[in-house]
Amino acid sequence: MHTGLESPRGVWWKPVHRSEKVWFGIAFAWCMVLFAMMPLWHWKGGQNPAGIRRKVEPAAFQARVNEFIEAYKIGEENGFPIVEPPPGSDIYLLARMWSWTPILKLRKDVEYTLHISSQDVGHGFGLYPINVNFQVVPGYDYGLRVTPNAAGDFRIICNEFCGIGHHLMLGKVIVVDDASATSTSTMKGES
Ligand code: CUA
């Protein structure tokens, strides 16, 4: 019987076969390529958040979000405020178990500074159907420079497991094309 205490029988101590050396060389070279990709991706990947980042007390951030909602609220949907901030302004989004507040109504092709933070645990901001992902942690205010480049209704999902209601953590962003919004309301005769 063979036990783990005895050295294995076989030919494993013989010099390494050439093909194995070649394979080892390829694997090592590939490791170095991937290693180089890390700093390269940082500079050339275009995946880094553009904007500011600073520490914030969760309560202070929540107070700022409430101020923001109060100032620019235009309606409500399922109990969530719909907020239409002035073009180009600082906008706020609060993540908590298990919701995204408020619903943002934005203009296409206008740059906003999106402040995003969590009130409790780590959440994952995921914008669907567009593949935008951002990790949201409590205690930090991320001011992301964002420019919506398509009009429509977008869902925010949470892609960081955050508890029993994780799969229910949905939010919404509405992006309107300024020109089309005006023409639609003219057609329907709305004021
Ligand atoms: Cu929030 Cu998962």
Two tokens at 64? 């700022």
Q: Is 96 in the pocket of ligand 1 (CB under 6 A)?
A: no
Q: What is the pLDDT of residues 136-181, one digit of tens each?
A: 999 999 888 889 988 999 999 999 999 999 999 999 999 998 765 5
At 103 the pLDDT is: 95
Omega within 30 of 0 (cis) for the link into 100: no
Ligand 1 atom with the smallest distance to the CA of 95 is 1
Q: Is 123 in the pocket of ligand 1 (CB under 6 A)?
A: yes
Q: Residue 139 gets which letter from DSSP?
A: T
Strand ranges, E, within the chain = 51-55, 73-77, 80-83, 90-96, 99-101, 103-107, 112-118, 123-128, 132-136, 140-146, 152-158, 171-176
Q: Is 172 in the pocket of ligand 1 (CB under 6 A)?
A: no
At 174 the pLDDT is: 93
Amino acid occupying residue 137: V
At 51 the pLDDT is: 75
> How much is the average pLDDT of 1-12?
72
At 7 the pLDDT is: 77
Distance CA(139)–CA(17), nearest Å, equals 55
At 186 the pLDDT is: 39
pLDDT band at 23 (very low <50, low <70, confident <90, very high): very high
> Smallest Cα–Cα separation from 151: which of 98, 109, 95, 94?
109
Would you say residue 16 has pLDDT above 90? no
Q: What separation, in Å, do the N-terminal and C-terminal C-alpha atoms of the chain show?
A: 89
Percent of the chain with pLDDT over 70: 90
pTM of the model: 0.72
> How much is the average pLDDT of 89-104?
94
At 165 the pLDDT is: 94
